[in-house]
Structure 1
Amino acid sequence: MSSDAMTQPELSTSSADKPHNPRQILSVRELSALNTRSNYKGLVQLAFHLTVIGCSGYLWVTNFGNWSLAIPALAIYGFSIAAMFAPMHECVHRTVFMNNSVNDAVAWCAGLLSFYNSTFFRHYHKWHHLYTRVPDKDPELTDPKPSNLGKYLLIISGLPWWKGKIRGHFRAALGQLDDCPFVPETARGEVIRSTRWQLAVYAVVIILSFAVRQPWFIVYWLLPLVVGQPILRFILLAEHTGCTLDANLLTNTRTTLTLLPVRFLMWNMPFHGEHHLYPSIPFHALPKAHQQLSSHFAHIESGYIKVNRDIIVTSGRPA
């Protein structure tokens, strides 16, 4: 088990203790078997994800005018780019590859494609795991809430996400991190440098696009990501919305059973309850973990359409 994986569970083999601590549901041996990282599985998953990006992107840019093919290709291309959030998330946990430097490099590049900064996200996400759904502590609770249909549609559009990411990246690049208590003083320099490098890459691509008078930045990245973000918002909104506002890991997170292509592009993140209960488990072992843990969770839903329909129906009610 990697010592770098976030929020490692405290374990006990005593069955008498299991009801008192959800992280003792699995025995040490069972968890150890699930915790094995695999360079091969990580590389294969990453290669296939990049293949989907490449093939759908090729169909998108080579079929202008043939909209019956171009539009579906754009949707797949856009979502596959937005879904690079998933490998970034997994590599931030450092559970994908055996070498942590490889995890960090893949996380940074995946964040570059999905418009996240992995260095900032590592600290933000660590607090999300430490204080999941705990009011005034979980940084995700500051995100907009779907309190009515209008706000739900606004969130799904991705507009608040774009606003937050643009503002957040520039504030981080300028060193304005005082409102980010999850970023320790010792890590601020690294976060600032990482964000500046990321913005520099975007600037270079924009400059090159202008220099050759080709809309590369828009056609290959910005427009597809605008199209793909609503799909990602639709998925991520299901992870915790409507779950309990407390530290109970069996009730504050939702697992959503979904189609294999979605599970694939999201690197098994739909098994989100299992991931939060045992963050040290790599993406490829989460389906097996689900088989062992599913009976313990309060929120297991059959499909994202159902979850989002329930969110709409209950929007406006007290949490």
Structure 2
Amino acid sequence: MSVTHTEVLKALPAELRARLQTRSDARGLWHLAGHLGALLLTGRWIALGLALWPIALILHGILLVFLFTLQHECTHETPFATPWLNRWAGHAAGFMIFQPFTWFRYFHLAHHRHTNDPAHDPELTEGAEPETWRTYLWHVSGLPTWWAALRGLVQMAIAPRPAPYLPERVLPRIKREARINIALYLVLFASFFWTSALFWLWLIPLMLGQPFLRLYLLAEHGRCPPVANMLENTRTTFTTRVVLWVAWNMPYHIEHHSAPSVPFHHLPELHRHMAPPLVTTSNGYSVFTKDYTAKLM
């Protein structure tokens, strides 16, 4: 019988487990400053129309869509030690990528509770993994993501219960946030009548960056077995330091799912302790993509 993630974690010394769960405002703010600084650089590159600025559109878009990984971490309240920093960062990141934070928090917690369970994991019940070339290309394009975001935002604003995994007590907050976001989006979109800045610095880059996020997210659980053991139902992808930085260390995904209370900056160390028994891993996103597409119908 293979070892489980709970057995691996229990084997770690108690003092090590406690230290790995220590949050840090300094580490979180430093990483966030770097991410926002990179966005400022690529945004200025585009705004000034410098050489090869269309490439900057893609880089800017990747940085924008990977604010998702910050929002994702904020659902676990781990990027920062101060609770309100996690909440505000989560709401701000969610607004930028059209994904309300309060809704996503409960969506994501349900995903952790039922990881890779076809009947209960909302990542699967609300969008199955692509199994044909047509559905794969449609998925990777990011276009269904935008349709789902628009439909979901409207449902959150008006539907009595947008999804079964949402607790009754949070429904008023979800509705209020969705309505506030819609109102703010309408105000921002009104600016298109006199300037195209948001079009070139926000919407177009988001659309260009979304396929990269789709490929990244597909590797987290794509083609993993529907079992309870996190060492098997989740994938850790070995990648470059740049990708790890942009994705807030979330390519260490088995480690994150096994111990979601461990903040992003401790995941590399947790990986060193968990590495030997890991079952589902991939040597890079290009390798995963090649393996995944080889089995498409």
Counterpart residue identity of residue 172, structure 2: G
**Alignment partners' CA distance in 2, 1:312 and 1:72:** 26
**Alignment partners' CA distance in 2, 1:226 and 1:242:** 26
- 1:50 matched residue in structure 2: 36
- 1:96 matched residue in structure 2: 79
Which secondary structure does the structure 2 equivalent of 1:116 belong to? Answer: coil
**Alignment partners' CA distance in 2, 1:109 and 1:33:** 29
- 1:237 matched residue in structure 2: 218
**Aligned pairs (5 A) from 1:129-278:** 129-142=112-125, 143-178=127-162, 180-210=163-193, 213-278=194-259
Q: Would you say 1:26 and 2:12 are equivalent positions?
A: yes
**Alignment partners' CA distance in 1, 2:10 and 2:4:** 5
- Cα displacement (A) at 1:22: 4.8
Cα distance change, pair 87–18 in 1 and its aligned pair in 2 (3 A): closer
Listed one character per residue, the Cα deviations across residues 110-159 of structure 1 (whole Å, up to 9, x for unaligned) are 11112211110000011100110112111111213220122111111001
Listed one character per residue, the Cα deviations across residues 82-127 of structure 1 (whole Å, up to 9, x for unaligned) are 0100111111110111121210011000111122111100000111
- Cα displacement (A) at 1:315: 2.3
**Aligned pairs (5 A) from 1:6-25:** 21-25=7-11
Which secondary structure does the structure 2 equivalent of 1:289 belong to? Answer: helix
Higher helix share: 2
What is the Cα-based RMSD across aligned positions, in Å? 1.6
Q: Is contact 2:8–2:274 with CA below 8 Å preserved after alignment?
A: no
- Cα displacement (A) at 1:176: 4.3
- 2:48 matched residue in structure 1: 62
Q: Would you say 1:305 and 2:291 are equivalent positions?
A: no
- 1:11 matched residue in structure 2: none
Q: Which 5+ residue runs of structure 1 have no aligned equivalent?
A: 1-16
Counterpart residue identity of residue 140, structure 2: I
% of aligned pairs identical? 35
- Cα displacement (A) at 1:25: 3.9
Which one is further off, 111-120 or 281-290? 111-120
Listed one character per residue, the Cα deviations across residues 35-64 of structure 1 (whole Å, up to 9, x for unaligned) are 110000000000000011110111122117
Counterpart residue identity of residue 221, structure 2: H
Counterpart residue identity of residue 207, structure 1: A
**Alignment partners' CA distance in 2, 1:136 and 1:229:** 27
Q: Is contact 1:97–1:103 with CA below 8 Å preserved after alignment?
A: yes
Of 36, 44, 66, the residue aligned with 1:83 is 66
- 1:10 matched residue in structure 2: none
- Cα displacement (A) at 1:209: 2.7
Q: Is contact 1:37–1:95 with CA below 8 Å preserved after alignment?
A: yes
Q: Is contact 2:5–2:258 with CA below 8 Å preserved after alignment?
A: no
Q: Is contact 1:144–1:155 with CA below 8 Å preserved after alignment?
A: no
Which secondary structure does the structure 2 equivalent of 1:251 belong to? Answer: helix
**Alignment partners' CA distance in 1, 2:168 and 2:115:** 23
Cα distance change, pair 18–138 in 1 and its aligned pair in 2 (3 A): closer
Q: Would you say 1:35 and 2:18 are equivalent positions?
A: no
Moved over 3 A (4+): 17-23
Cα distance change, pair 42–246 in 1 and its aligned pair in 2 (3 A): same
- Cα displacement (A) at 1:202: 1.1
Counterpart residue identity of residue 286, structure 1: L
